[in-house]
Amino acid sequence: MTQIRETEQAQLFVWSDIDPDHEADFNQWYDREHMEERVRIPGFTGARRYRAVSGSARRYLALYRASALSDFTSAAYQKAFTKQTQWSVTNFGRMSNTRRRVMHVAQEGGFGWGGALVLIELAPGVVDPSVMTTLMQGLMSTEGVLRVHHMIPDETLSTPLPSEATEGRVLAPCLAVDVSSEPIAEATLRYLTEELGGAVREAETFRLMWALDEHDLPALDD
């Protein structure tokens, strides 16, 4: 379980906030339409939704897993991305302070999804890959740490949503750590911010709201 491996897989994250007046509809849209819609795209293997626990202006995080970066250039994905439902258009317009990143999962260790998540955004080009591997190996030997992912953003595919400011936009690599509980997430956050020091741009913890696997979905009627 502790072996750190290279992968060809990809992960999209959409990290945003929403006006409290529209929060109920926003959550209903994600839970009743958007997650299923995206996971049904060929190449996509699952999705998770999170709510921030520690100090973020962006309260909601959605992560979508795909087999490869090429799944984000497929005809099926382009159709889904360019032909949104009206419910999607409405909620995309309501998002604020959004970050949309399509990431290559360059290194990974462990398996499964934890009840809590640590997300560290790193300054680009600061942490050497070998240092990251050693750090990830150390994390995997920590009680309560289930999975670690080192993700590198793809500049071409990480097109911004309308609610993301483009001036000064930074495509930052990320380290995500799935853990079994919120106290372990907080302890892991403290450890990583100390170890990585000035390389950390932002660091947050999240609570898992729910996860959807491609195999959970029933076949659509023809």
pLDDT in tens, the chain (222 residues): 468 999 999 999 999 999 999 999 999 999 999 999 999 999 999 999 999 998 667 899 999 999 999 999 999 999 988 888 999 999 999 999 999 999 999 999 999 999 999 999 999 999 998 999 999 999 999 999 999 999 999 999 999 988 888 888 999 999 999 999 999 999 999 999 999 999 999 999 999 999 999 999 998 875
Give the domain ranges of the chain.
5-216
Q: Has domain 5-216 been given CATH number 3.40.50.300?
A: no
Which pTM was predicted? 0.94
Compute the chain's Rg from CA coordinates: 17
Residues 6 or more apart whose Cβ sits within 8 Å of residue 39: 45, 46, 47, 64, 212, 213, 214, 217
For position 54, what pLDDT does the model report?
81
Q: Quick: pLDDT tens for 121-161.
A: 999 999 998 999 999 999 999 999 999 999 999 999 999 98
Name the one residue in this structure whose structure tokens are 């955004």: 121
Give bridge partners of residue 38 from the DSSP assignment: none
| Single-letter amino acid, residue 2 | T
Which residues fall within 8 angstroms of residue 48, CB to CB, at 6 or more apart?
A: 62, 63, 113, 208, 209, 210, 211, 212
Per-residue pLDDT of 159-181, as tens digits, reads 998 888 888 899 999 999 999 99
151: left (phi over 0), alpha (psi -120 to 50) or beta: beta
Report the pLDDT value the prediction gives residue 161, as an integer from 0 to 100: 87
The 10 Å CB-count burial string (b at 16+, else e) for 164-189 is beeeeeeebbbbbbbbeebebbbbbb
Q: Which of 70, 86, 66 is nearest to 78 (CA)?
A: 70
Q: What are phi and psi of 207, to 5 degrees?
A: -105, 130
CA gap 51, 156 in Å, rounded:
27
pLDDT value of position 222: 52
Are 140 and 149 in contact by the 8 Å Cβ rule? The answer is: no
- Is 43 in contact with 52 (CB distance < 8 Å)? no
